[in-house]
């Protein structure tokens, strides 16, 4: 009986010691944490500007204008979020070049949008090649005060088997009065050449958000005049910023991903490609303030004199 009692005490002491060591990180955690940090996947509240990311519940807010930024009218006609207005970025461009602010304002007004409207944008994420982000940038550039992007977009709407509409939505025409936002910088090819050729200025980083193939010059899109990328650009394919369910990466994962490419908040960031508007949106979500968008992108650069505006291929 005495031996049993001693064995029981020894087992109890061993269990207590094991628990104490685990609580101290097993002696291998110099930070003194008692447990691993919680998984953040799906948690959008940590973003400094989390209010820019809309949820499905936000779609029910009264007097909200929902814009469908998917690139295909056929997709919109086949099914869209009820009440959504078809407004792809191409509606505000001519031959791949953004229209003048007054021209865009007229189109937006005819859609029933004003500068102070509460707007939620959605697309079908990677299939839309950053369309929602580009429209987000356009609206912020023109001075809109309440614009958000639906997290997960059309992909999540379909995955949840939500109600679809097939009839187009129209609103009474309104007056959109643009007020160019000075905090949203409209970058030109001259600005890019000045700060990145022949070498990047200190503290500057140029970001190409296209695919690896487009960046390296093994793939040429129909709208792109030349193969390759702008010299000194960092390749950061925007599609890697989504979770498998097409929601945006959480703050920690997105921050680590950006930093792994040398993209940090202290740098002057210039992004290009028609998908760079989505990169701009992500940086706004992260609370970064020194990010600008070369709106003309590779189309504008590729049409210019190659001696002044060169392109290179390869990694």
pLDDT in tens, 55-103: 999 998 888 999 999 999 999 999 999 999 999 999 999 887 889 999 9
- Quick: pLDDT tens for 137-179: 999 999 999 999 999 999 999 998 899 999 999 999 999 999 9
Structure tokens at 285: 């979500």
How far is the C-alpha of 132 from the C-alpha of 150, rounded, in Å? 9
What are the sequence ranges of the domains in the chain?
Answer: 1-36, 50-159, 186-303
150 neighbors 89 (Cβ within 8 angstroms) = no
- Quick: pLDDT tens for 250-265: 999 999 999 999 999 9
How far is the C-alpha of 99 from the C-alpha of 112, rounded, in Å? 19
Q: What is the pLDDT of residue 222?
A: 74
CATH, domain range 50-159:
3.40.250.10
Q: What is the pLDDT of residue 60?
A: 86
Kindly tell me if the per-residue pLDDT of 114 is higher than 90: yes
CA atoms within 13 A on the CB side of 140: 24
How far is the C-alpha of 144 from the C-alpha of 65, rounded, in Å? 13
- Quick: pLDDT tens for 265-286: 999 999 999 889 999 999 999 9
- Quick: pLDDT tens for 226-236: 999 999 999 99
- Quick: pLDDT tens for 177-190: 999 999 998 899 99
- Quick: pLDDT tens for 17-47: 333 333 333 333 333 333 443 444 557 788 9
Q: What is the pLDDT of residue 43?
A: 72
Q: What is the pLDDT of residue 300?
A: 92
Return the sign of the alpha-carbon dihedral for residues 120, 58, 240, 86: negative
Structure tokens at 240: 């890697």
208 closest CA partner among 294, 115, 289: 294
**CATH value of 186-303 in 3.30.390.30, 3.40.50.720, 3.40.250.10, 3.30.1490.440:** 3.40.250.10
50-159 matches 186-303 in fold: yes
Q: Exposed, middle or buried, 257 (CB in 10 Å: 0-12/13-18/19+)?
A: middle
Kindly tell me if the per-residue pLDDT of 8 is higher than 80: no
Structure tokens at 273: 């490609």
For the chain, the farthest-separated pair of C-alpha atoms sits apart, in whole angstroms, at 95
């Amino acid at each position: 009986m005495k031996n049993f009692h001693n064995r029981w005490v020894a087992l109890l002491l061993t269990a207590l010691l094991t628990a104490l060591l685990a609580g101290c990180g097993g002696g291998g955690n110099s930070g003194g944490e008692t447990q691993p940090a919680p998984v953040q996947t799906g948690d959008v509240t940590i973003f400094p500007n989390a209010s820019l990311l809309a949820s499905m519940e936000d779609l029910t807010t009264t007097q909200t204008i929902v814009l469908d930024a998917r690139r295909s009218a056929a997709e919109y006609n086949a099914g869209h979020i009820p009440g959504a207005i078809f407004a792809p970025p191409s509606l505000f461009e001519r031959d791949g070049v953004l229209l003048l602010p007054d021209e865009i304002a007229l189109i937006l007004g005819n859609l029933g949008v004003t500068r102070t409207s509460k707007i939620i944008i959605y697309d079908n994420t990677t299939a839309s090649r950053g369309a929602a982000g580009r429209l987000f940038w356009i609206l912020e550039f023109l001075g809109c005060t309440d614009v958000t992007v639906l997290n997960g977009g059309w992909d999540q709407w379909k995955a949840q088997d939500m109600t679809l509409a097939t009839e187009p939505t129209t609103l009474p025409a309104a007056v959109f009065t643009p007020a160019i936002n000075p905090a949203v910088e409209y970058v030109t090819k001259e600005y890019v050449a000045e700060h990145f050729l022949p070498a990047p200025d200190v503290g500057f980083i140029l970001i190409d958000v296209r695919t690896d193939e487009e960046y390296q010059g093994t793939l040429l899109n129909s709208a792109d005049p030349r193969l390759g990328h702008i010299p000194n650009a960092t390749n950061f394919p925007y599609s890697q910023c989504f979770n498998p369910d097409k929601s945006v990466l959480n703050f920690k994962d997105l921050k680590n991903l950006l930093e792994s490419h040398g993209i940090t908040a202290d740098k002057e960031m210039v992004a290009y490609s028609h998908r760079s508007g989505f990169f701009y949106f992500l940086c706004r979500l992260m609370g970064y303030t020194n990010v600008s968008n070369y709106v003309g992108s590779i189309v504008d650069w590729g049409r210019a004199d190659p001696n002044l505006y060169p392109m290179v291929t390869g990694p």
